[in-house]
């Protein structure tokens, strides 16, 4: 969870133990920028997260040290159109077609 109401810092809340309400930890990172929208995309190891800023920029936030830096990818411009995250899964991306009934599975009546 991210709170950017205070323009001087970004507050990131992380649940360290899934499902345990008391395991929420707050990390505050100083920032001299005002951003309308900050979205957490992914973790890099234990200490860093990648944030998408205003749908156009990626930054890496080090939670332990409290620093921000640009996320640089060779061949990708500093400003971009859209970013997103994904979760690895054994479910096919086209599985939703099956659910919508565009494909069907025949199950025999089992006469015996």
* Per-residue pLDDT reduced to its tens digit, 33-88: 667 778 888 888 888 888 888 877 888 888 888 888 888 777 766 665 555 666 67
Q: Is residue 111 pLDDT above 60, yes or no? A: no
Alpha-carbon distance of 46 to 72, in angstroms, equals 19
- Sorted by sequence, the CB contacts under 8 Å of residue 64 that are 6+ apart come out as 47
**Residue 70 dihedral angles phi and psi, to the nearest 5°:** -65, 140
- Rounded to the nearest integer, the mean pLDDT of the chain is 72
Pairing verdict, β 67-70 and 24-30: unpaired
Q: Kindly list the domain boundaries of the chain, sorted by start residue.
A: 2-99
Higher-pLDDT residue of 29 and 85 is 29
Take residue 107 and report the two structure tokens written for it: 């199950």
The residue whose two tokens read 């997103």 is 84
Q: Residue 56 and residue 39: Cα distance in Å, rounded?
A: 11
| DSSP single-letter state for residue 4 | -
> pTM of the entire structure?
0.58
């Amino acid at each position: 969870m991210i709170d950017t109401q205070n323009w001087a810092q970004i507050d990131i809340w992380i649940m360290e133990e899934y499902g345990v309400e008391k395991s929420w930890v707050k990390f505050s990172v100083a920032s001299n920028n005002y951003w309308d929208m900050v979205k957490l995309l992914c973790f890099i190891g234990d200490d860093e997260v990648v944030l998408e800023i205003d749908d156009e920029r990626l930054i890496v936030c080090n939670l332990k040290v409290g620093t921000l830096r640009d996320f640089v990818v060779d061949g990708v411009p500093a400003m971009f159109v859209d970013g997103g995250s994904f979760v690895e899964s054994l479910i096919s991306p086209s599985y939703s077609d099956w659910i919508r009934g565009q494909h069907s599975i025949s199950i025999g009546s089992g006469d015996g």
